[in-house]
Amino acid sequence: MQFKFAFVSAALATLAVATPAPRGEPASSCSTGPVQCCQSVEPASSSSAAGVLALLGIVLQDLTVDVGLTCSPITVIGTSSSCSAQAVCCEDNSHGGLISIGCAPVTL
């Protein structure tokens, strides 16, 4: 339990100082991991995002941060089937694709 608390605290500290790629930046500017394809991107304060965050026990200090819901990594950029939803660069992709935190749209 202490490890989970330490991990979440570290993730929140990272989010507090991290700056995601500005809106509309090319996917190549994503330095936090693979670009994600998310079914929806919403503020953390939205009811659906808040529900997933609560289910996972994640507490965010900034509820205006955008989160991606139901995300998967895009491994091959440039193909027509890369992402039929929203391509984003997220600061925290460590929740098994259920939710990604600190997301900003990118251009594929």
Q: What is the pLDDT of residues 32-50, one digit of tens each?
A: 888 999 999 999 999 999 9
* Local confidence band at 5 (pLDDT 50, 70, 90 cut-offs): very low
Mean pLDDT of 54-72: 92
Rounded to whole angstroms, how far apart are CA atoms 5 and 14? 14
Q: Are strands 36-43 and 25-26 parallel, antiparallel or unpaired?
A: unpaired
Question: How many other C-beta atoms are found inside a 10 Å radius of the C-beta of residue 46?
Answer: 16
What is the pTM for the complete model shown? 0.69
Per-residue model confidence (pLDDT) at position 47? 94
| Angle, alpha carbons 33-108-98 (nearest 5°) | 45
Per-residue model confidence (pLDDT) at position 78? 54
Cβ pair 81, 67 in contact under 8 A: no
Q: Which long-range contacts (CB under 8 A, 24 or more apart) does 47-54 make?
A: 49/99, 52/98, 52/99, 53/99
Q: What is the pLDDT of residues 6-25, one digit of tens each?
A: 444 444 444 443 444 345 67
